[in-house]
Amino acid sequence: MDLVRVNTVRPESLHGRAVWVKRRRPGMGAVIAPGNLFLRLSRSRIRMFVSCARWQDWELASFQLLHPGRLAERRRGAVALEALPGESLDRLLERGELTPAMLEASAVELRRAHALSLPGSREPWSHGDAHLKNLLYDPAGRCARLIDFETPHEPWLSADERHADDLFVFLLDLAGRVPEGTVGEWAGVFLRAYARVDVLRALLTRPRPPRGLERALWASRSHHLPEARLASALGQLRETVIRILEDSPLSIGANHDRR
C-alpha cells in the first residue's frame, strides 16, 4: 500500500499552460487485481480501476466536475490535467505551516464537492482517497482544491457513507501527523467547518478499533501510529463528533447548506 505506485506523474506545458501528465505504468493490471482483493478484505470501501480506460474516464470526469474551465485531456494510457495553484496540506504540515484556516478551507471544499454529481448521475460525488496530499491550499484565493481521482468508492455505499469515509480518511491521516493529544482539537476545526449533520452521524460509526486486515490499512493511513496512540486518537475523534452533533446551531447550518 505504501510503496506501490500505479501511475507516474510528470510536468509538461500544453497550450501555454502548466499541466501534470499522469500515465498508467505498464503491467499494472496484474498489480491492481490483487490490490482490489486486499482493499475489499480490509473493508476499505474503495477500489482501483483495472481498466486503464475506465480510470481515465473517472479521472477526467472528476477533474472537470470540480475544476470547470481547467484544461484536461485524454492521451494514450494517460491524462493531462492543468496544474492547480496551491500546495498540498501534507507539505504544509511537514513544515509546521498548517493552520486552522487551511483545515476550514479544506472542509468547505469537501462539502462543496460532496454536493456535486457527475453528468448523467443522480448520486452525489465522493473522492475515495481524500488524504492530506490530495488537497491543495491556495493562499491567494484562501481556498482548497481536491486532486488525484484514482480510487472511487464501492457503488453499494450510500452517499452519506461515502462522504463520511472521505472525512475519516482525511482525519486518520491528520491523526498520524499532529502531536499526541491534539487530534480532537484539529478534527473539531475541520468538522465544524464541514457542518453536515447527516454525514457526521455516518462518521460516528467509524472511530472504532480496526479488525483483521483493517489494521494494515489503517496503519498505512495513519502513518503507522502505535496501537495505543491510534486507539487514543480514535477516541478523541469520536468524542469530537459527539460534541459537534450536540451543538444545535450546527443543524441550522447543515439545513441551510442543503438549500
Q: Indicate the pLDDT class of residue 249, thresholds 50, 70 and 90.
A: low
Mark which of 47, 82, 117 sits at the end of a domain.
82
Residue at 49 is within a domain: yes
Q: Which of 59, 82, 105 is the last residue of a domain?
A: 82
20 and 57 part of one domain: yes
**Domain total in the chain:** 2
- Are residues 113 and 53 part of one domain? no
User: 142-155 as b/e, with b when 16 or more CB fall inside 10 Å?
Assistant: ebbbbbbbbbbbbe
53 shares a domain with 124:
no
Same domain, 95 and 175: yes
Here the CATH number for the domain that contains residue 253 is: 3.90.1200
What mean pLDDT is reported for the chain? 93
119/127 Cα distance (integer angstroms): 16
C-alpha Rg value of the chain to the nearest Å: 18
pLDDT in tens, 174-194: 999 999 999 999 999 999 999
User: What's the CA gap between 43 and 217, in Å, rounded?
Assistant: 9
Task: Check whether residue 133 and residue 17 sit in a common domain.
Answer: no
Q: Residue 247: its pLDDT value, please? A: 83
Q: pLDDT (tens digit, 9 = 90+) per residue, 30-87?
A: 889 999 999 999 999 999 999 999 999 999 999 999 999 999 999 999 999 999 999 9
**100 and 44 belong to one structural domain:** no
Q: Which domain holds residue 26?
A: 7-82
Q: Mark whether 94 and 199 lie in a shared domain.
A: yes
- Domain final residue pick, 82, 97, 132: 82
Query: Residues 78, 91: one domain?
Result: no
Using the predicted structure, report yes or no on whether residue 169 has a pLDDT greater than 50.
Answer: yes
Q: Which residue has the cell 472511487?
A: 152
Residues 37 and 158 in one domain: no
1 in any annotated domain: no
